[in-house]
Amino acid sequence: MPLFYYGKKVYLCKLKHGYMGIFDKGVKKTNRSFFDRLSRAIAGKTEVDDELLDAIEEALVATDMGVDTTLKIIDSLEERVRRDKYVSLDELVDMLREEIASLLDLDTEEKSVSAGPFDFSKKPYVIMVVGVNGVGKTTTIGKLASSLRAQGKKVMLGAADTFRAAAVDQLTIWSERAGVDIVKQEMGSDPASVAFDTVRSAVAKDADVVLIDTAGRLHNRIDLMNELTKIRNVMKKVIPDAPHEVLLVLDGSTGQNAFQQAREFSRATDITALAVAKLDGTAKGGVVVGIVDQFRIPIKFVGIGEGVDDLKVFDKKEFVGSLFSKEDLEK
């Protein structure tokens, strides 16, 4: 039975079973990687010392949480341990959960869990989706369209990534699978023209939601900024406050590359929300925490599998509970 003390008193506590939720599958590899490292670090220890805190720091960095974010957590954790004098392993992990949850605690995130991720009082609600090629952007749009359609929403897709024929074809397949309308033009057409036609058609057909796919790779940041700005401006000609959401899709399995993508797109346009795809295939799920902490942009969706239902609305309590499920220390 693990026990730790900070001072003279010793506190014993049997490990409790961890939090089980919808994110378990998505962050299982991250959870396993973290607790494998933590289990090795606590072997034979009877106190929370600098060596153990260093091991926790190393384990967090290994999840690609980012050095700055990790140091915030470790500094706060160290202060709490010194203040409380003695802690059990359960308490140590609970402290870790609380510290990480606090970093994810954005005001907009609380609203997204309680009231849904979008404000459907605006109709049509226009979502411009951005991200580099290969991160799962088009698939995320398709899954989101399917989910919204299942909720009774009338959805329209706009295939504004006209640089890749595969992108238009893939989005067309998703539109057929989800049973929603799609607006598309010839390969090489002006993306802004596609976006304009999509929102105009959405207004005419009384659609509830518009999802605009955009090109994921332009030559440089200036090209990207100009392209996205042009798309935003033409949509405003039809709906003055469009887009209502700019959703950046990131590939969670790329770790630190996801930070760089978030940085570049944040410089190119006003990102209002994030969707992190492919979390189920990586041990680097800590990137979710680091990105929210560094960029202060709420995560609204996470992709935890290939199934059409594996795009989940982000809930920080369930995510942190699954990321640090203490039952794994008993295995």
Annotated domain spans of the chain:
3-106, 107-322
Q: How confident is the model at residue 4 (pLDDT cuts 50, 70, 90)?
A: very low
Is the Cβ–Cβ distance between 25 and 305 less than 8 Å?
yes
Dist CA 282 CA 144 (whole Å): 22
133-156 pLDDT, tens digit each? 888 899 999 999 999 999 999 999
Q: Is the pLDDT of residue 25 over 60?
A: no
Instruction: Say what the pLDDT of residue 8 is.
Output: 32
Write down the pTM of the prediction: 0.82
Convert the pLDDT of each residue in 173-211 to its tens digit.
Answer: 999 999 999 999 998 899 999 999 999 999 999 999 999
CATH class of this structure's domain 3-106: mainly alpha
Asked whether the beta carbons of 160 and 244 are under 8 A apart, the reply is no
CATH superfamily of 107-322: P-loop containing nucleotide triphosphate hydrolases (3.40.50.300)
Crossing angle of the two packed helices 50-62 and 28-42, in degrees rounded to 10: 160
Q: Do domains 3-106 and 107-322 have the same CATH topology?
A: no
β-bridge mates for residue 5, sequence order: 47
pLDDT of residue 134: 85
* Region of poorest pLDDT, from 51-55, 73-77, 217-221: 217-221
